């Protein structure tokens, strides 16, 4: 497996590592989606980005991740 973080832009700030969300999304968009077309409503990179952001907010359940999405609208 070829893994690299060279394409993800990151900086070191006072509170930790800062990532450019656009570069993370770009990296996720290069993943292969193995889901079947039937029932697929959202792009894989969008779903994964929501999961990542929810985890960064401290959510551990799908319900909590959904609440974070609703709260950001």
Query: What would the pLDDT profile of 32-41 be if each residue is shown by its tens digit?
Result: 999 898 988 9
Token pair for 50: 């929501």
Read off the pTM: 0.62
CA angle 3, 12, 62 (to 5 degrees): 60
Token pair for 48: 């994964």
16-35 pLDDT tens trace:
777 676 778 888 888 999 98
SS3 content of the chain, % helix, strand, coil (to 5): 40, 10, 45
């Amino acid at each position: 497996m070829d893994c690299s973080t060279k394409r993800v832009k990151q900086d070191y700030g006072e509170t930790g590592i800062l990532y450019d969300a656009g570069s993370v999304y770009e990296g996720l968009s290069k993943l292969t989606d193995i889901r079947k077309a039937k029932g697929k409503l959202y792009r894989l990179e969008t779903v994964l980005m929501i999961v990542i952001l929810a985890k960064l907010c401290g959510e551990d359940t799908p319900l909590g991740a959904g609440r974070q999405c609703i709260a950001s609208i």
